[in-house]
Amino acid sequence: MSDAISPDSAARTPPAAARIVLEARHVSKTVASPEGSLTILADVSLAVRAGESLAIVGASGAGKSTLLALLAGLDSPSEGSVSIAGIDLTALDEDGRAAIRGRHVGFVFQSFHLIPSLTAIENVMLPLELANRGDAREAAAAALEEVGLGARMPHYPKQLSGGEQQRVAIARAFVTHPDVLFADEPTGNLDSVTGTRITDLLFELNRSTGSTLVLVTHDRSLARRCGRMLELDAGHTVG
C-alpha cells in the first residue's frame, strides 16, 4: 500500500486524530470452483478515517469489486471482519447489513443505476423516503441544485445525458450525508471531459461534506487524486 499524497489531495487529508469510519481486518474471500476452492482476496487489511479519500486500484480481475462489496456489506468475507462507523458488519445478517448501509453508506456506480420510471428528483428522494424523512423533496432539490441540475429535476433518466445521469446518482448518494461513499469506476461510461467534471464533483463533495470517499478504479491518474492508494494484484495487496 502506498501512503503517498498527491499535491491536490493534501488539503483533504484528515488529521491523524480523525475517527476511523471504515476498517477491514484480515479479510479473505474464497469461493468454490470446479477446480476446488478459489481465493479471490487474501488477508486484506485497511483503515480509513473520516473525510479521507482512498483509491483501490488494480488490473481487471485483481479483486477490486469483490473488496468493495465486502467493505460495503454487500457480501460477507470468508475470513476476517469489516466495520463501518464502529459496527461489525460480519456480526449482522443481511437485514442488519442493509440497515447499516441505509444509515451510513452511499454508492455511485459506473452504470448510474437510476430508476427509469422516476424523475431526477424522485430518484434522489428515494433513499430519504426509505428512511421516512419528511423533508425528502426539499433535501433532494437542494442536492440536485448542488450538483448543477436544478433545472433538470422533472426530467426522466432517458431525457438526461450520461454526465447528467451520473450527477443525479451522485446527488442521490450524498443526499443522506453518508459516512462512506463508495464509487465503483464512476467515470467508466463517460467521455474524458465529462468524466473529469464528474471526478471534480466527487472530490468537491468529499471535501465539503466530510464524507469518506472510497474510489475503485483502474485509472491511475484518477487514483492519484486520492489521499491514499491501495493496490491489489490477484487478490493480494501490493507493497
pLDDT in tens, 80-113: 999 999 999 999 999 999 999 988 999 998 888 9
With bands split at pLDDT 50, 70 and 90, how would you rate the model's confidence at 214? very high
CA 165/CA 172 separation, integer angstroms: 11
Q: Is the pLDDT of residue 60 over 60?
A: yes
CA 211/CA 50 separation, integer angstroms: 7
Number of neighbours of residue 119 by Cβ within 10 angstroms = 19
Going by their DSSP bridges, the two strands 20-33 and 79-84 should be labelled as antiparallel
CA 140/CA 123 separation, integer angstroms: 9
Nearby residues of 200 by Cβ (< 8 Å), 6 or more positions away: none
Pick the CATH number of 7-237 from 3.40.50.80, 3.30.70.60, 3.40.50.300, 3.30.70.1450: 3.40.50.300
